[in-house]
Amino acid sequence: MIKYRKTVSENWFEKVSEDGTISASFTNRGQIGRAMWIDYQIWLDDGNVPDEYVLPTPVPAIDQLRAVRNLMLPETDWWAGSDLTMTQEQKDYRKALRDLPSTASPSLDDYGELTNVTWPTKPE
């Protein structure tokens, strides 16, 4: 069963398949848009109501912090090779990365981007 939903842009709609994939985005402008608009109007006339568009839920700030931190830690794994000796600065950096979830107070800005985290400075 095909469904429609409103988008965040005024007068734009999405045609959504049963599995949730978006098969088309359209407005009532242009030749293709008008044809899809007619299908949409028939669908409405059959008593259907479009779903409201729901913005995706952003990934929680602490989970974003862990994800970034988990990408940064392996970049320094080679420092701990059996044939190398880590400097104190390298040890402190790795510890600061590991401790970030408990020492930071991450938050998200209006765009869902991670803020309020002071990342440790990677030593040379």
* pLDDT the model gives residue 2: 77
Looking at per-residue pLDDT, the higher value among 6 and 104 belongs to: 104
Rounded Cα distance, 1 and 105, in Å: 45
Please state the rounded mean pLDDT for residues 37-57.
79
Q: Is the pTM of this model over 0.85?
A: no
Residue 93: φ, ψ to 5°: -60, -50
* Contact between 34 and 41 (Cβ < 8 Å): no
Residue 13: φ, ψ to 5°: -135, 160
Please state the rounded mean pLDDT for residues 23-33.
74
pLDDT bracket for residue 107 (50, 70, 90): very high
* pLDDT the model gives residue 19: 78
Mean predicted lDDT score pLDDT of the chain: 85
Rounded Cα distance, 16 and 23, in Å: 6
